[in-house]
Structure 1
Amino acid sequence: MILPDFSQAKVLIVGDLMLDRYWSGGTGRISPEAPVPVVNVSGSEDRPGGAANVAVNVATLGAKVTLLGMCGHDENARILKEKLSSFDINCEFFEVPERDTITKLRVMSRNQQLLRLDFEKSFADVDKSALLTTFNQALDDVDIVILSDYAKGCLSDPQSLIRAAKQKGKKVIVDPKGSDFEKYANATLITPNVSELYAVVGEQDNEQSLVASAQSLKASLSLDGLLLTRSEDGMTLFETGEDEFHLPAKAKEVYDVTGAGDTVVSTLAVALASRLPMQAACVLANLAASVVVGKLGTSTVTNTELALAVGEQSVHLDGGVMSEEQLAIAMRASKSRGERIVMTNGCFDILHSGHVSYLEEAAQLGDRLIVAVNTDRSVTELKGPGRPVNNVNRRMAVLAGLSAVDWVVPFEEDTPQRLIARLLPDILVKGGDYKIEDIAGGKEVIENGGEVKVLTFEDGVSTTGIIERITKNKLS
């Protein structure tokens, strides 16, 4: 995937404005007044938050931004405008003298958040007629609209904004809040997280019921799409006329999830305004989120960072570690496109050159390669005490980073027979000197019209051999 030219995109944002303030310093003692750490504040930083952070994210990607919102007539409003002007953001703020600008103060020490203090009062009962008039005027010169709802009152009547935008043929993306999503009906796309979805449809016991509930909600609200963000489980797009599209999480390290949702909705808007299809826009949003959670505090993603992330993942942008249920959905979509799916399995405790060459050979047999990985318990059962050397999450992460591998899934049993019988790949592959009739799951694959193949391993290379050499060297 090549990033489009985002500089031509024009985005209109309406939502709850906030100032994020950070006080930071060292902690070396506990207060004698209460069992809490004493922070010696040595630094202070102000950053745009809420809808203002969404605007900064959009501007950092190179798009043109107009931001509408409500604030107080105070020093924090002045600071917020000053910060935003440095990003060349067109601010249309509606000051309410009897309200304070919403401010969130975070106390930090050693890169950890110790405390958050919120200074806020809802704008829900404030007259919005001037904001709506300005919104209608601004619509003529934008490509897409973002409604950034933090339930602070600026978006007390989102339907009036959605109707106005749709009447002028503008797409509307909503970052929702609360348990009433009816107010977002007829938007183009909404981006709830799992907790927000459950607040509307109730908690779901499994992947199938979650998918059904999300699809039903999307249909009832007459949306074009619903993007469910799922933290460490990635995100899933439910788009009208398309199968569910799951994107595993791509983050290598997570330091702070503050503002990650803002990054997702911002990247989606800029990508859609640049005429990318919804699935491609979600791929970029997923990668942008993986970058921003690796930073501390409310942060943004640059074009360069996003381009590098795309480059690293260009082989299988929708691949990675999945649950069994998520993989079943991804496989259905893959097979509907006529792709041939190859599957293999193993412990892959210490990945070595023999593994890599074997997986590359397996991948050449089809369009997609699944690697099923023994959990720690099953490795210990098979290999004995002291194994695995690497836990299952580390083993799967390394495998997911290989260009040959599309999907990685764990299995708990001693053999993957049940998993293979459920997934039924087109080609089942095993390495070594196995007989086809002895390969777990082979019977079911063949009965389903598939193939079973045995590939050779590289001579003289094995995890057990590596461990034995390491142990011998230590003893000598």
Structure 2
Amino acid sequence: MEFSRLQKLNQARVLVVGDVMLDRYWHGDTGRISPEAPVPVVKVSSLEDKAGGAANVAKNIAHLDGQVGLLGLIGEDDNGVSLTRILESEKIASQLVTVEELPTIAKMRVISRHQQVVRLDLEETFSEQHSRLLLARLEQVLDDYDFVLFSDYNKGALSAIKEMIALAKSAGKTVLIDPKSSDLSLYRGADYITPNLNEFKLAGGQVGSEQELTDSARQLIADNGIGAMLLTRSEQGMSLICATEKHDFPAQVLEVSDVTGAGDTVIATLTTMLGAGMAPKDAVEVANIAAGIAVSKLGAATVSPEELSRKMGQYLRQTGEHYQTPFDDVLKHIAFAKQNGEKIVFTNGCFDILHAGHVRYLAQAKSMGDRLVVGLNNDESITRLKGPQRPINALKERAMVLSALASVDWVIPFGSEAENDTPAKLIEQISPDILVKGGDYKVSEIAGADHVLSQGGHVEVLAFLDGCSTSGIIEKAKLGKTAKS
């Protein structure tokens, strides 16, 4: 498997076209039954809006570092404005077409004590006339992308999908479809379709035996002019089926918390990996791993490159390859993690020669939250702080070693002369929930502590492991060299 392709995810240029929607969540506690009717009263304490439908597919691609655009239909209303703002914050190049006479599709859920009390759907089906507005916009932006992903939720945005596929194929694009219709002839010309088992059966697929499933899948794609089918099979994993080959991928053994949006994660990951140059079989294997991660989270979750890298660790160790988040993308990844409600921990240091004290310290820091960011002094900063003989190891090597630790999620260099060799400006950019410093400092002496506290965060001071220091290791090495000579 070409795991080095994880470093090239930003080469994937994907246009998502389909039924976009706003997912709105009201969270609150329930303490009594309404006197007006036998229903619980939920005292709403927070409101959360998320991208849904095809917009969630685009979000999954953005969180994997793919370059992603989005075409969809919204109404001229507040929900459309909210969805547009969300897409901007998710770094998605949205091309939403406004339809005056119909509302933005919205799914509104009331959640209490981690249980959904009720869902309210605000929607009307868009017509073929509306879909042709998308077709016209598709023609305008198609040259900017290599892959076109159609996300069909049967809400009308893809009523003209036959013409859309023909347009994309005539332009030489690879086409993938998450289908909703049981009439697969609508998707003629597609390179990949990704039905689930129920959709497969509704389309005429037979599941009496494994051979029967394979034969009927091949018949369906042959009859409808489709290149290949990625059949998602719930606890049985998924199967990639084409005219001459079939590859089965067992479900990942993770505790299932919520299957919401798992199909979005599968097709988004598959497309991004193909866009990064990965072979189809390998791309499906990664998509299968991503699905296992997604269903272990609550809600329509996304998966990050770092999570994929950790989950694929056994393969990475065998090949000697390792995924390291590009420095330029780290702040974006941190922002995505915050949007997912993850607690961010920050610490910093030179980490010139990694030793047992460092490893224990970083593990302790990580245990305080969900993600650990390490600010790493650059080479010039270390020279100013430690003298002309330091650093022993250059910035790239130090960053690679740190990022390979299970406790470390991201590494960001700092230390320009303007920063005065402190991470204060970096901490202001990140605004971590918890700032960790090693040693016997007072909180008032720690760079960036005032900012973290002002944002409602916490500052923690951890003791170093006695007898462990980079300077001590260097001195031991010098003594050993002198004794030998």
Partner of 2:181: 178
Contact 2:54 2:151 (C-alpha < 8 Å) held by counterparts: yes
1:280 alignment partner AA: D
3-state SS of 1:261 partner: helix
Contact 1:229 1:236 (C-alpha < 8 Å) held by counterparts: yes
3-state SS of 1:12 partner: strand
Of the three residues 230, 235, 239, the one matched with 1:236 is: 239
Of the three residues 114, 119, 122, the one matched with 1:116 is: 119
Contact 1:252 1:290 (C-alpha < 8 Å) held by counterparts: yes
Question: Structure 1 residue 47 and structure 2 residue 50: aligned?
Answer: yes
Of the three residues 257, 264, 279, the one matched with 1:255 is: 257
Partner of 1:272: 274
Of the three residues 150, 155, 166, the one matched with 1:152 is: 155
Could you state the TM-score of these two structures normalised by the residue count of structure 1?
A: 0.63
Question: Structure 1 residue 24 and structure 2 residue 27: aligned?
Answer: yes
**Cα distance, 1:105–1:312 mapped onto 2, change above 3 Å:** farther
Gaps of 5+ in 1: 317-476
**Cα distance, 1:46–1:3 mapped onto 2, change above 3 Å:** farther
Question: Structure 1 residue 303 and structure 2 residue 281: aligned?
Answer: no
d(CA) in 1 for partners of 2:285 and 2:186?
27
3-state SS of 1:126 partner: helix
Partner of 1:14: 17
Please give the residue correspondences for 1:208-223 in structure 2 after superposition, counting only pairs within 5 Å. 208-223=211-226
Question: Structure 1 residue 245 and structure 2 residue 247: aligned?
Answer: yes
Aligned-pair CA distance for 1:127? 3.4
1:79 alignment partner AA: S
Please give the residue correspondences for 1:313-328 in structure 2 after superposition, counting only pairs within 5 Å. none
Aligned-pair CA distance for 1:129? 3.5
3-state SS of 1:270 partner: helix
Question: Structure 1 residue 68 and structure 2 residue 71: aligned?
Answer: yes
d(CA) in 2 for partners of 1:133 and 1:96?
14
**Identity, % of aligned positions:** 48
d(CA) in 2 for partners of 1:277 and 1:259?
24
Aligned-pair CA distance for 1:31? 4.0
Please give the residue correspondences for 1:53-452 in structure 2 after superposition, counting only pairs within 5 Å. 53-201=56-204, 204-242=207-245, 244-312=246-314
d(CA) in 2 for partners of 1:313 and 1:23?
41
Partner of 2:450: none
**Cα distance, 1:231–1:35 mapped onto 2, change above 3 Å:** farther
**Cα distance, 1:203–1:225 mapped onto 2, change above 3 Å:** closer
d(CA) in 2 for partners of 1:283 and 1:310?
10
d(CA) in 1 for partners of 2:109 and 2:4?
35
Contact 2:58 2:68 (C-alpha < 8 Å) held by counterparts: yes
Partner of 2:394: none
What is the count of residue pairs matched by the alignment? 315
Contact 2:135 2:160 (C-alpha < 8 Å) held by counterparts: no
Aligned-pair CA distance for 1:315? 9.0
1:258 alignment partner AA: T
Could you state the TM-score of these two structures normalised by the residue count of structure 2?
A: 0.62
3-state SS of 2:203 partner: helix
Contact 1:3 1:307 (C-alpha < 8 Å) held by counterparts: no
d(CA) in 2 for partners of 1:302 and 1:176?
25
Aligned-pair CA distance for 1:24? 1.4
**Cα distance, 1:260–1:208 mapped onto 2, change above 3 Å:** same
Deviates more, 1:84-93 or 1:182-191: 84-93
Contact 1:7 1:64 (C-alpha < 8 Å) held by counterparts: yes
Superposed CA offset, 1:228-252 (max 9, x none): 111111111102321x211111141
3-state SS of 2:166 partner: helix
d(CA) in 1 for partners of 2:40 and 2:249?
40
**Cα distance, 1:231–1:313 mapped onto 2, change above 3 Å:** farther
Aligned-pair CA distance for 1:113? 2.2
Contact 1:25 1:109 (C-alpha < 8 Å) held by counterparts: yes
Contact 2:74 2:99 (C-alpha < 8 Å) held by counterparts: yes
d(CA) in 2 for partners of 1:22 and 1:255?
18
Superposed CA offset, 1:405-427 (max 9, x none): xxxxxxxxxxxxxxxxxxxxxxx
**Cα distance, 1:106–1:93 mapped onto 2, change above 3 Å:** same
d(CA) in 1 for partners of 2:264 and 2:292?
13
Aligned-pair CA distance for 1:133? 2.4
Superposed CA offset, 1:251-303 (max 9, x none): 41111111111111101111111121111111111111111111111221111
**Cα distance, 1:125–1:131 mapped onto 2, change above 3 Å:** closer
Contact 2:34 2:40 (C-alpha < 8 Å) held by counterparts: yes
Contact 1:70 1:95 (C-alpha < 8 Å) held by counterparts: yes
Contact 1:251 1:293 (C-alpha < 8 Å) held by counterparts: no
Gaps of 5+ in 2: 319-485
d(CA) in 1 for partners of 2:128 and 2:280?
35
d(CA) in 1 for partners of 2:289 and 2:201?
25
Deviates more, 1:41-50 or 1:134-143: 134-143
